[in-house]
Amino acid sequence: MTALDLSSPVAVVGTGTMGQGIAQVALVAGHPVRLYDAVPDRAREAAAAIGARLDRLVEKGRLTAADRDAARARLRPADDLAELADCALVVEAVLECLDVKQELFRALEEVVSPDCLLATNTSSLSVTAIGGALSHPGRFVGLHFFNPAPLLPLVEVVSGFATDVTSATRAYETARAWGKTPVACADTPGFIVNRIARPFYAEAFAVYEAQAADPATIDAVLRESGGFRMGAFELTDLIGQDVNESVTHSVWQSFFQDVRFTPSLAQRRLVESGRLGRKTGRGWYDHREGAERPEPHTAEKRQPPAYVVAEGDLGPASELLAMIREAGIQVREEDEDNGSRLVLPGGGQLVLTDGQTSVEFRDVVYFDLALDYRKATRIALSASQDTGARTVSEATGLFQALGKDVSLIGDVPGMIVARTVARIIDLAHDAVAKGVATEEDVDTAMRLGVNYPLGPFEWSRRLGRTWACSVLDDLHQRDPSGRYAPSLALYRHSFATEKREGAS
């Protein structure tokens, strides 16, 4: 099944920001486009807005004047659903309300031809439930664009329980013909991106609720150590706290209140107070004119240790050994079968976070995971009230000697980056094992949909296939609520790897 022919008209119902964006994508690709909105004159206003955006594309050299004029000629507002009768594809982008969407598609089914493809851009509702109102749900599919649709490449092509393979394939190929990067997805709460991305927000909020670090510090660590484009607090302020919480709540409810998707009470209080982020001027941060942006916690300058003793290879942080030597600090290596650590001159230990806490051990400082320890500009350290001041000072000075800013946070298991990445990897394995999507499509979706520096399976391969399961096992022992219990899929993946390695 191939993409729709460019001569085939495409309709977009609902002319808000997303609807206009989808219409612009189809229009620039070369289709005749119909715009419909239930509110009188709104379709004409949307057509004018799209025309203005085409003008800006010409000004920026991204579209020729001739192509703009041709596109404008293909764009037509519709006053009645009956004017969509000749369309080969209708994409809905109306209110996120099941009854509203079902009523719309029942009406469309009375108008369009039997072979017209019907699609919803829903981000939070069940594609199966929406299509369940149709007499012929086999032609119904989810086409989830990301905002702004003309700029972001990802489209989740979602097959409902009754969606025909031919319909899903045609939608997939059409999205690709429009210059998008489609990924195929089964109808599951949150689809790929909104399902697997929940820990990025949830773990940052959990660290904050534990009073281990403030939003500015957590965001800085996620960006400067984890390699994420934005931190969880600044990103939710951009998205809108109400919007982000609504998606989290929808996924949680759709999974029958699975503890892995539990919403944040701190975010709930923020929404209740009306601090929704940039659009209201205040959220986690103060966005009002003249407001100062809070700085992340950054430790004062400390003297580096003269040497460290390396016991083991530090696993995912092994690059640090070469960096320490390059900084002029002596590394004395000792074979050690019981874990990996750096022993500091004062006798304290510096250990890559593993899901345990500093208070459980004598004089231990944990350091957080980094996407790339050479490129990272900030490293988080955690210690308990019992950790020696000299150990904290030596650990701080060591990372500062490597050119890193150091943020000291509270003694939380898994710290910030590690617990976040471990949970993302786990949800990804769980989704693939349940047939939601392929590993390749999951990685593509997370990189393109939310700008993650690596896809979950890319992270897993880099860190070692048993790393996430080990971290989550330790976290689960300290929080047995089930939130951190590794999925059966991750257990199987980790155990099979260990068994093969043990037999070799």
d(CA 307, CA 401): 12
What residues does 11 pair with on adjacent strands? Answer: 34, 90
Residue 131 three-state SS? helix
C-alpha–C-alpha distance, residues 343 and 346, integer Å: 8
Which residue among the candidates 123, 167, 225, 250 is catalytic per the annotation?
123
Query: Cα-atom radius of gyration of the chain, to the nearest Å?
Result: 26
Whole-angstrom distance, CA of residue 11 vs CA of residue 423: 39
Greatest Cα pair distance, the chain, in angstroms, is 80
* Token output for 384: 């308990």
Active site residue 156: yes
Active site residue 493: no
| Residue 185 and residue 438 in contact, taking contact as beta carbons nearer than 8 Å | no
Query: Cα–Cα distance between 392 and 140 in angstroms, integer?
Result: 59
Sole residue written with tokens 């509203």: 100
CA dihedral (467, 473, 478, 480) in degrees, to 10, reads 140
Cis ω on the peptide bond leading into residue 148 (within 30° of 0)?
A: yes
Question: To the nearest 10°, the Cα dihedral for 115, 136, 77, 10?
Answer: -40
Spatial distance between the Cα atoms of 78 and 68, rounded to a whole number of angstroms: 20
Side-by-side strand order, sheet with 154-159: 75-78, 33-36, 10-13, 89-92, 117-120, 140-145, 154-159, 181-186
Catalytic hit among 31, 144, 287, 493: 144
Output helix, strand, coil percentages for the chain, rounded to the nearest 5: 45, 15, 40
Determine whether 272 is an active site residue: no
CB atoms within 10 A of CB 303: 12
Triad 351, 356, 359: Cα angle to 5°: 85
Which of the residues 194, 225, 244, 358 is marked catalytic?
194
Residues with Cβ < 8 Å from 332, sequence gap 6 or more?
307, 308, 309, 310
Catalytic residue among 83, 156, 311, 394: 156
Q: Active-site residues: which are they? A: 123, 144, 156, 194
